[in-house]
Structure 1
Amino acid sequence: MNVKGMRAFIYTVEEGSLNAAAVRMNLSQPAVSRLIQILEEQVDAKLFYRNRKSLSPTREASLLYPEALKIISAIDDFPTQFDRMRTNTLAPLQVFSQARAANSIVLPAISMFAQMFPNIKINLEIVPRRELRKSVIEHRIDVAVHVAPFPVSGMILHEAARFPLFVLLHRDHPLATRQSITIAELQAERYIALKRGLMVRELIDQELAKTGQQLAVFHQASGMDAAQQLVAARLGYTFCDTTAILPHLRDHLVLVPCSSNMNIDLGIYCPSESESDPHEATLAFMDCIKSIISDIRSRD
């Protein structure tokens, strides 16, 4: 099977058009179209529905994509793997984290791990949720820290830690000195919500619905970092746990317990053995993560 054809297929799925795939491959659009046509003949299946503006993958393309991605990833990684075999060096530990857990958990865990194993390299990537599927398919994750449940198959939960969601306020807010705040008391305040589709927003909406409560959204942010910036600007409140506060905003913000029982589960994940062989340092690094989480929870 033609490697160029598989690469053309992958890029077309990811870009949604032959022109964009051609740019990535530095080929002409007709050349890419011909590569895909040959691949369709080889697999004896139609891979795209074609229209004037874009291409849509068929069901067969959706089945082929993860397998093609694995093959191309292995080919691209072969020179590095061969060099490691030749020099007998340990591959870097691939660590993935959501942004919310990076500063408070993953970075301190890396520092702790490096003190014990100074010669083991670590590659840290802060991965948006939309890129997780591709990363897992490429077998590029040894350890991941992510809000549970993990949205992609192929990863298993090693351990989960539960953190309560607090009301996040500017420290000058009239409610900032309260021991606890009820949802009813928040009705008169401006709610800075995360946009729909984000896991934390979905969790909050579900918990409020269980008790028949609602909060009117005033501002909306595409991520927790942006929501915190708006709170720091005295534009309202949001919900947050202790692991997600931005370090440079800690002096300006306070977390006040909420009377509603809302929690977030943060999971430590690793690939299932059927998906990839575990890195030799995976368990040691996960122990560092658990130690950092234990320290955080003891301070709550």
Structure 2
Amino acid sequence: MALNFHQLHIFYTVAEKGSFSMAAQALHMTQPAVTMQVQSLEDYFGTKLFQRSTKKIELTEAGRTLLPFAKRSIDLIKSTDVAMSKFTHMLEGRLQLGASLTIGEYILPRLLGPFSREYPSISVSLKVMNTTQILEEIFGHQLTFGLVEAPIHHPDVKTEVVLNDELMLIVHADHPLAEQEVITLDDVQLYPFILREQGSGTRQVMEQELQRVGFGTDRLKIVMELGSTGAIKSAVEAGLGITLLSQAAVRHETALGIFKVKRIEGLTFTRHFYSIFLQAALLPISAVTFLTFLRERDLKAWL
């Protein structure tokens, strides 16, 4: 019997989780299958790797010795996938991911075209949903990974920055601020303002930057709070107020001359978009290829 990476990955996950059942859940395997693979690894080395009791499991001295080598092997495989993803243009497979609303509706559609032209044999399945739903499907192994607008703080979830974004002041082309060269917060608070709902990523970014300069949202003339970017765009187009949105979300309206995109002097509303996936998961090469594409390409021309 030869040593194989699959067994090392299972061993490492059991050690990290401290439980065969939790490792089985993380790996989307049955508990007996996990136990069998660990036993095979113990047979290969001719020694016990875990001390088992009714309440808990602990690494033996042999297990503690093997653990850093198992981690290095996992890290090496991940690095290998990233390095080789640059050359896999004839790769075949299915890319299955979830994306939160702004990313799924306004960012990814512009990126999937160039990606598909470069990797024509990878088919894409995209679900647009909120972050909570994406997490549920990742934990349920229905999705491989997701792209979201805020970091996820969960011990079983790996979060990595893959894209950067900036919110800008969006005004109707007929608005008094549309032709004004320099716009200050004092100017902004003179006009009706439309906000995203409490808890949205867009609103959090706006509030954090305003808080940095000591400006509370209560000083704005808030006329409505809406639960989607599309609703806010419609309200601005109807002349109901001004807002802050991702420039990528209003590219079409800007090109048609409906909106003007402006900066507020002294403020920068930057944010990150994150990939999220299970810590215990080894992403398929199609997913690694797509994430490498996002990290290493100059995406500005498409956004």
TM class by shorter chain equals 0.5 to 0.7
Provide the C-alpha distance between the structure 2 equivalents of 1:164 and 1:116, rounded to a whole number of angstroms: 27
CA contact (8 A) 2:253 2:259 kept: no
- Partner amino acid for 1:169? V
Does structure 1 conserve the Cα–Cα contact (< 8 Å) formed by 2:103 and 2:147? Answer: yes
Question: Greater CA deviation, 244-253 or 226-235?
Answer: 244-253
2:225 to 198, 210, 220: 220
Please tell me the residue identity of whatever aligns with 2:269: N
Distance 1:199 1:153, change over 3 A: farther
Residue 108 (structure 1) aligns with:
110
CA offset digits 1:136-159 (Å, max 9, x no partner): 211333343221323665443333
Task: Kindly report which structure 2 residues correspond to 1:129-148, keeping only aligned pairs within 5 A, or say none.
Answer: 129-148=131-150
Does structure 1 conserve the Cα–Cα contact (< 8 Å) formed by 2:102 and 2:249? Answer: yes
In 1, Cα distance between equivalents of 2:168 and 2:263? 5
Instruction: Specify every segment of 5 or more residues in structure 1 that has no aligned partner in the other structure, as ranges.
Output: 1-66, 76-88
Counterpart residue type for residue 214 of structure 2: G
- 1:191 aligned onto 2:193: yes
Confirm or deny that 1:234 pairs with 2:239.
Answer: yes
User: Structure 1 residues 224, 158: closer, same or farther in 2, change over 3 A?
Assistant: same
Indicate the SS of the match to 1:162.
strand
- Partner SS, residue 245 of structure 1: helix
Q: Quote the Cα distance in structure 2 between the aligned partners of 1:198 and 1:257.
A: 21
Partner of 2:281: 276
Q: Does 1:266 align with 2:268?
A: no
**For residues 120 and 244 of structure 1, do their structure 2 counterparts lie closer, same or farther at Cα, with a shift above 3 Å needed?**
same
Distance 2:166 2:302 in 1: 13
- More displaced 10-residue stretch of structure 1: 107-116 or 154-163: 154-163
Q: How does 1:142-161 map to 2 (within 5 A)?
A: 142-150=144-152, 154-161=156-163
Structure 1 pair 74/103, CA: closer, same or farther in 2 (3 Å)? Answer: same
Output the amino acid matched with 2:200.
Answer: L
Deviation at 1:229?
A: 1.1
Q: Aligned letter for 1:185? A: D
Q: Which structure 2 residue ranges, 5 or more long, are not aligned?
A: 1-21, 31-90
CA distance in 2, matches of 1:220, 1:137: 31
1:180 maps to which of 179, 182, 186: 182
Q: How does 1:1-300 map to 2 (within 5 A)?
A: 92-150=94-152, 154-214=156-216, 215-245=220-250, 247=252, 250-251=255-256, 252-272=258-278, 274-290=279-295, 294-296=298-300
The answer as to whether partners of 1:96 and 1:143 remain within 8 angstroms in 2 is yes
The TM-score with structure 2 as length reference comes to 0.62
Task: Report the secondary structure of 1:181's partner residue.
Answer: coil
Q: C-alpha separation between the residues in 2 aligned to 1:299 and 1:285?
A: 15
Amino acid at match of 1:99: L
Aligned length: 217
Q: Report the equivalent of 1:51.
A: none
Question: Given residue 261 of structure 1, which amino acid in structure 2 is its aligned partner?
Answer: L
Change (3 A) 1:127 1:186: same
Q: Distance in 1 between matches of 2:143 and 2:129?
A: 11
User: The residue matched to 1:121 in structure 2 has which SS?
Assistant: strand
Post-superposition offset of 1:195 = 1.4
Tell me the amino acid that sits aligned with residue 130 of structure 2.
P
Deviations 1:169-219 (A, max 9, x none): 011111112233111111110010111121221222232223221323111
Distance in 1, matches of 2:153 and 2:221, equals 28
Instruction: Give the direction of change, closer, same or farther, for the CA distance of 1:152–1:263 in structure 2 (3 Å limit).
Output: farther
Q: TM-score, normalising length from structure 1?
A: 0.62
Amino acid at match of 1:245: V
Structure 1 residues 104, 258: closer, same or farther in 2, change over 3 A? same
Write the letter of the residue equivalent to 2:270: I
State the AA in 2 paired with 1:295: L
What amino acid maps onto 2:262 in structure 1? V
Shift of 1:104: 4.2
- AA aligned to 1:206 is Q
SS at match of 2:299: helix
The Cα of 1:245 is off from its aligned counterpart by: 2.3
SS of the residue 1:149 aligns to: coil
Question: Percent of pairs identical after alignment?
Answer: 17
